Amino acid sequence: MSEAAAVGTSPSRSSAASSAASIDLSKRDLTLDLARVFCVLLVVVIHLLMVGVGTGPDGGIAVSRPLEEQWWFAPVTWIGQIMPLFFVVGGFASLTAWRSLRRRGGNAADYVRNRVLRLAQPALPLFVFYVVAIGGARLLGVDPGLVEVAVVGAASPLWFLAAYTLCQALVPLMAGWHARAPRRALLVLLAGAVVVDALRYTAGIDGIGLANLFFVWLLVQQIGFWYADGWFVARRWWTLAVIAAVAYATLVPLTEWGPYSVDMLGNLNPPTVPLVALAVGQACVLRLLRPVLSRLMNTHAARAAVFVVGTRLMTIYLWHLPVILIVSGAALLVPWASPAPASPAWWWSRPLLFVLVMAAVFALSFLVGRWEAPRMAGATPRPAIVAVATLLAFIPPFVVMEWSMGLPIAVVGSVLLSVAVLMLGRGAPDPARRLSPAGSGGVDGA
């Protein structure tokens, strides 16, 4: 899930496109890599605390949500809801990568091809897994209700792919708008988010809120653009502290007197205006912590850990919930290995389960992790083909977000993602490569 692009050595457009997947450590802010890793690992921790697998009164398997039953859960989400920060960091990295690609002669189709492949490729084996898992459970006669609960919960993080695919596909357009009128871009997106929420809560139709996949997440991504341009760097520490305090303070009237949930996870899908306030506050806090994070990233241990986790981020994010359920289910077969959810022993067992889950995901990454790196051959396809493939990659996670995972959705999603990957992964023949062997010497080896 690495976002930075390295400087290529070939002047051809295809070399620019392929080298967009590389990393130039001399030109990247390693504290943002640390922030990205932190966000994903925190998601894993939260899900470990949210998923309780135990034995029900009838002796069957029961799945509960212990974390959400705690009185302090909603207030803690004001800190623990860190997905806005992920989109801020993604905005910083996306703008940096886009500008680097443009300097090397790449265009919007090159950029979108690379980014969408980075999202569609890792998602494909996961959808195939759900086809096998759900279909196999049906053949074995497993309780359909239990399968539905497990699959719906395990596939819930796929909303991110829909939102992030949309944001990445529009980076060239939004970067141009940012260059021409950065303040106007923020104001228009904010106004759109407010209007969508007003219509949604006035009409009582949650579906209207889907428009904020566009307004809210693109607005948060634009904040990342401002971060990349040095706006936060130019502010004094006390100014950032005040802005962060004000941003978090706005959550009080929004949730006390406004229509929004005090639980920030409840404001996630469809996304709402409070996420914008969180994004501003989290961006300020990230900048305030940068001196400490920089010193940490100057250590070999921190760089190694961030590299190991960072090269597997998509695998960790997409697969951690299925692994959590599998490990928790297997623990039921071992005497005393599965404490009752929400019991003191269950809470104390979470650190050990985190280690087991991460070890299992790490092992799994050797099988599915190879799908994280884009596999591109030839020049970028025509923009129309890239646009169609992007839509095909967007549909499966969007459908899951709206109607949850099921066997028909898993099958159709696998087909659509396969087509998208094939359309993007193999472009038209590149004349520069035929004329010059050096044209194939991109840093990706593509």
User: What confidence score (pLDDT) does residue 276 get?
Assistant: 98
State yes or no: pLDDT of 15 exceeds 80.
no
User: What confidence score (pLDDT) does residue 427 get?
Assistant: 59
> Considering the chain, what is the average pLDDT of its residues?
89
User: What confidence score (pLDDT) does residue 224 get?
Assistant: 98
What DSSP string runs through 206-234?
GGGGGGHHHHHHHHHHHHHHHHHTTHHHH
State yes or no: pLDDT of 435 exceeds 50.
no
Cα–Cα distance for residue pair 11/4, rounded to 1 Å: 19
Domain boundaries, the chain: 13-440
Per-residue pLDDT band at 62 (split at 50, 70, 90): confident
Cα–Cα distance for residue pair 28/347, rounded to 1 Å: 38
The closest of 273, 264, 184 to 222, measured between CA atoms, is: 184
State yes or no: pLDDT of 17 exceeds 60.
no
pLDDT tens, 314-343? 999 999 999 999 999 999 988 888 899 999
Cα–Cα distance for residue pair 197/271, rounded to 1 Å: 9
State yes or no: pLDDT of 27 exceeds 80.
no
Dig out the tokens for 42 from the structure. Answer: 């925190």
C-alpha distances out from residue 71 to 28, 66, 263, 268, 277, Å: 41, 11, 11, 20, 23
pLDDT tens, 96-128? 999 999 999 999 999 999 999 999 999 999 999
Mean pLDDT, residues 218-247: 97
pLDDT tens, 145-168? 989 999 999 999 999 999 999 999
State yes or no: pLDDT of 444 exceeds 80.
no
- Contact present, 445 and 16 (Cβ < 8 Å): no
The closest of 113, 108, 109, 2 to 420, measured between CA atoms, is: 113
Per-residue pLDDT band at 433 (split at 50, 70, 90): very low
336: left (phi over 0), alpha (psi -120 to 50) or beta: left
pLDDT tens, 269-283? 999 999 999 999 999
C-alpha distances out from residue 115 to 18, 211, 374, Å: 11, 22, 8
Look at the pTM and tell me if it is higher than 0.95. no
